[in-house]
């Protein structure tokens, strides 16, 4: 895995990840599970890279979530917890949990199977899927140094009247309320 020196702080990566995370949760609750899985995987990629930048000043080039996870395991036991390890572990899908969605996200990006991989069916995505995203987002956000004037996207979404930094993709007040509602639904890490 090749690494690149980050030109911006880890908090900038978290800022991008937060936007994708909020959108992913919204899509899950709107019933768009394929889109949730793709955006959720992208949010996890951004959070893991932010974490690695915080620890090393560098980030891995590429999109292999399993390699990113392995790199993060060198820095904190959180990434060694069974619930987190299982997300990234190659195995036959356990359709009862939906926890392995990250490992199979590449198989749902395209309309046919990627060479060497079986096609994964979307009924494997469940509430365990967004809970794993919630856990990773919460952990990384707690472990990133944020400059005093930096904007926290999620805090802004939940605690301001307009959600000004979310407005770039939410244009109507009713939609903003719906985004907040779906972001908070069954989310044990972020509250108003």
Mean pLDDT by 10 residues, the chain (192 residues): 89 92 89 85 93 94 86 94 76 49 59 58 60 91 88 73 51 68 87 70
CA distance 175 to 137: 23
CA distance 171 to 53: 32
Residues 33, 137, 192, CA angle at the centre, nearest 5°? 90
């939940």: which residue's tokens?
A: 158
pLDDT at 90: 55
pLDDT at 127: 65
DSSP 8-state symbol, 81? S
* Contact indicator for 147, 9 with CB cutoff of 8 Å: yes
In sign, the C-alpha dihedral spanning 184, 24, 22, 7 is: positive
CA distance 19 to 111: 26
Beta bridge partners of 5: 58
pLDDT at 119: 55
Task: Please choose, from the candidates 131, 165, 139, 137, the residue with its C-alpha nearest in 3D space to the C-alpha of residue 151.
Answer: 165
CA distance 177 to 181: 6
Instruction: Please tell me the total number of residues recorded for the chain in this structure.
Output: 192
pLDDT at 86: 75
pLDDT at 64: 81
CA distance 159 to 21: 17
CA distance 130 to 40: 8
């Amino acid at each position: 895995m090749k690494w690149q020196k980050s030109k911006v702080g880890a908090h900038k990566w978290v800022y991008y990840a937060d936007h994708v995370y909020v959108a992913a949760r919204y899509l899950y609750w709107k019933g768009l599970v394929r889109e949730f899985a793709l955006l959720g995987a992208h949010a996890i990629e951004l959070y893991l890279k932010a974490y690695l930048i915080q620890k090393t000043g560098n980030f891995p080039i590429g999109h292999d979530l399993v390699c990113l996870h392995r790199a993060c395991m060198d820095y904190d036991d959180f990434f060694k917890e069974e619930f987190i390890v299982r997300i990234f572990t190659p195995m036959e899908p356990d359709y009862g949990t939906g926890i392995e969605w990250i490992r199979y996200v590449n198989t749902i990006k395209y309309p046919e199977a990627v060479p060497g991989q079986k096609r994964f069916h979307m009924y494997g995505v469940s509430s365990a899927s967004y809970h794993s995203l919630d856990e990773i987002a919460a952990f990384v956000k707690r472990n990133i140094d944020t400059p005093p004037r930096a904007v926290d996207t999620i805090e802004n979404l939940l605690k301001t009247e307009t959600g000004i930094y979310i407005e770039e993709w939410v244009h109507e007040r009713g939609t903003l309320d719906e985004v907040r509602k779906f972001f908070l639904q069954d989310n044990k890490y972020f509250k108003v």
